[in-house]
Amino acid sequence: MKKLLLLLFFPIHGFGQNTIGFPDIINYSKLDYKAGLQNWDIQQDNNGIVYIANNEGLLSYDGKNWNLYPLPNKTIVRSVEIGKNNLIYVGGQDELGYFAPTKNGTLTYHSLVDKLKLQDRSFGDVWDIVSFGTDIFFRSFSKIFRLSNLGTLASFNAISEWNYLSVSNNKLYAHDNTAGILKFEQDVWTPLSGTNTLPLNAPVTSILPYGTDSSIVTTLKNGIFIISGSGVSKFPFNNEQTLINDRIYAATRINKDWYVFATSNRGLYITNRTGHIIQRFSRTEGLQNDNVLSIFKDRQDNLWLGLDNGIDFIAYDSPIKKIKPMLQEGSGYTAIIKNGRLYLGTSNALFSVSLQNIKDLSFSKGDFSEVNNSKGQTWSLANINDQLLLGHHEGAFVIKDNTAQRISDITGVWNFKPISTTYPASRIIAGDYKGLAIFNYINGQFKLEEIVPGFNESSRFLSIDEDQQIWVSHPYHGVFKITRSADSSYRYQLYAETKGLPSLLNNHVFIIKNELLAATDHGIFVYDRKKDLFAASPYYKGILGPQSIRYLKEDMDGNIWFIHDKMLGVIDYSKKNRN
């Protein structure tokens, strides 16, 4: 079954039809990492530590702490590379070398400039560093330096100007403004054989694998090319003009079929192999700014962005996505998928969008529209008897033809639950601000039957057990069982400490795997029908411990989602069955 977990937030969106779901984005400003604005290159070592070439030196980040290591001459660090020996090679202005850890874990810089001939020591900024075989290559505009495993440095002069250096498909490439793309073979830079349609003075910004025997080449403002056995040729790439207009500053691969292009003007574009735009990230989607200087995919398949002002982290491999419905700001309260549409209930109204038939629904593209007559605070959505019910501050509604039709003006309807087990359910209960309401379902319509007399608790948390008994939990007043007698009268019973719960406060009842559970400040408690008591569940205690739990939800695959404090978690049943 298709699943989509929704965390809702609502900025304005002005760029066509983007995807409806996005991974979490974490912004790090210069106040967070305490260094310069611009971040030129990013790498990660074998221990998972991220290193960033920054205006004020080399930045390191271990997931908790930022550290800054300036170069001796205090110049901008433009490039960083992790060697096979796990040394951290960096390049600055007229400076190149490596950082190595001391015994206490701090990094110490070792310059390699003294290994250069005197006439080679004025080389400007080192823009690229590449590990290739057992050697390390450094690129400035005027020279490429090769550090051999013997510790010697050789230099290669540019024909006009070196403007790119990279490895693709185990081949080392460089680009010279007039000579075009060259390949390093047998200690010599050799122009590629075959045709060469790459324009002169078209700065190359990336060379990336495109299959096992070819590579795509991006240029700053001249489009996209391909390296193949016949040489360098123009590549028929969809949306190329969009990328040209926004200037491709860097690029990388997400997987063998998807590429991500970092631009100077409009953030990131993610495309497939033919250039079809899958997704876009910009300030609208949460980036700090749209000028992306560098991009790096880490070992967990997440993306790090070096920006013109700051650093951003995109949790791209996370299964949790946020929904951005291109609407006014508001809080999200409820969501449901019905008849190929996603409905989102917010503090402003109910909205919906059509979904595509794809595996990951968060990659559906579309514009949300407001459901007519739904303005105001929404609370819940329920699919009962194949009809979509809306719980709203102004009453109970059924959604038909993109319009909310009122079925009751009871103030503040929190939720709906079917009482009867037959289909269609003949009786439905709704929890509201002042108690409980019973609806009958007759001839395809919901009709208010009665307000449950004598029960006046706000009933936001409502469950129906297998005996058709009604359970209401109020976080400050306790748990209530409401039983309907044969004469249609109702009995109410309070469950708190005397009934096994740890206290009167912060209890929330849910039906999970056909059991009545209470999520409490001290873990999960299960209801024993024979003893008419709650008791701490050994099963859930073994998984979650005695920690505070506020919410439980069983999905269509039997996994159990929970909220602890403000953290979301899941008990995953996909690989093993509950014993």
Kindly report, residue by residue over 244-297, the tens digit of the pLDDT: 999 999 999 999 999 999 999 999 999 999 999 999 999 989 999 999 999 999
Separation between Cα atoms, residue 301 and residue 102, nearest integer Å: 30
Reported as a pLDDT band with limits 50, 70 and 90, residue 325 is low
What amino acid occupies position 485?
S
Separation between Cα atoms, residue 391 and residue 428, nearest integer Å: 13
Per DSSP, the three-state class of 83 is coil
Q: Biggest alpha carbon distance in the chain?
A: 103
CB-based contacts of 89, cutoff 8 Å, min separation 6:
80, 81, 82, 83, 96, 97, 98, 129, 131, 136, 138, 147
Residue 41: pLDDT above 50?
A: yes
Element (H, E) at 30: helix 30-33
Query: Is residue 424 reached through a cis peptide bond, with omega within 30 degrees of 0 on the bond before it?
Result: yes
Separation between Cα atoms, residue 253 and residue 331, nearest integer Å: 35
CB-based contacts of 173, cutoff 8 Å, min separation 6:
164, 165, 166, 167, 181, 182, 183, 184, 207, 215, 227
pLDDT at 15: 43
CB-based contact 295:251 (threshold 8 Å) = yes
Which tokens belong to 408? 């009751």
CB-based contact 303:318 (threshold 8 Å) = no
pLDDT digits (tens, 9 = 90+) for 410-436: 999 999 999 988 899 999 999 999 999
Residue 219: pLDDT above 70?
A: yes
pLDDT digits (tens, 9 = 90+) for 74-99: 999 999 999 988 899 999 999 999 99
CB-based contact 493:477 (threshold 8 Å) = no
Percent of the chain at pLDDT exceeding 70: 95
Across 50-64, 318-332, 454-468, least confident range: 318-332
Give the other-Cβ count within 10 Å of 482's Cβ: 21
Q: Report CA-CA distances (Å) from 253 to 209, 288, 471.
A: 8, 22, 52
CATH 2.130.10.10, applies to 465-579? yes
Which tokens belong to 96? 């190149």
CB-based contact 16:5 (threshold 8 Å) = no
Nearest alpha carbon to residue 450 among 458, 438, 460:
438
Separation between Cα atoms, residue 101 and residue 82, nearest integer Å: 13
Reported as a pLDDT band with limits 50, 70 and 90, residue 1 is very low
Residue 220: pLDDT above 70?
A: yes
Separation between Cα atoms, residue 404 and residue 423, nearest integer Å: 23
Percent of the chain at pLDDT exceeding 90: 86
Mean pLDDT value of segment 218-229: 95
38-157 topology per CATH: Methylamine Dehydrogenase; Chain H (2.130.10)
Exposure class string for 252-280: b at 16+ Cβ within 10 A, else e: ebbeeeebbbbbbebbbbbbeeebebbbb
CB-based contacts of 187, cutoff 8 Å, min separation 6:
none
Residue 3: pLDDT above 70?
A: no
Separation between Cα atoms, residue 445 and residue 439, nearest integer Å: 10
Exposure class string for 319-330: b at 16+ Cβ within 10 A, else e: eebbbbbbbeeb
What amino acid occupies position 451?
I
Tell me what the pLDDT averaged over the chain comes to.
93
pLDDT at 576: 58
Per DSSP, the three-state class of 579 is coil
Per DSSP, the three-state class of 497 is helix
pLDDT at 154: 95
pLDDT digits (tens, 9 = 90+) for 142-199: 999 999 987 899 999 999 999 999 999 999 999 999 999 999 999 999 999 888 999 9
pLDDT at 105: 80
pLDDT digits (tens, 9 = 90+) for 520-561: 999 999 999 999 999 999 999 999 999 999 999 999 999 999
Give the other-Cβ count within 10 Å of 16's Cβ: 9
pLDDT at 14: 36
- Predicted TM-score (pTM) of this structure: 0.88
pLDDT digits (tens, 9 = 90+) for 21-34: 999 999 999 999 99
pLDDT digits (tens, 9 = 90+) for 468-509: 999 999 999 999 999 999 898 999 999 999 999 999 999 999
pLDDT at 10: 39
Reported as a pLDDT band with limits 50, 70 and 90, residue 13 is very low
CB-based contact 315:302 (threshold 8 Å) = yes
Mean pLDDT value of segment 287-316: 97
Reported as a pLDDT band with limits 50, 70 and 90, residue 383 is very high
pLDDT at 49: 96
pLDDT digits (tens, 9 = 90+) for 194-218: 889 999 989 999 999 998 899 999 9
φ, ψ dihedrals at 541, nearest 5°: -65, -35
CA angle 549, 551, 556 (to 5 degrees): 130
pLDDT at 145: 98
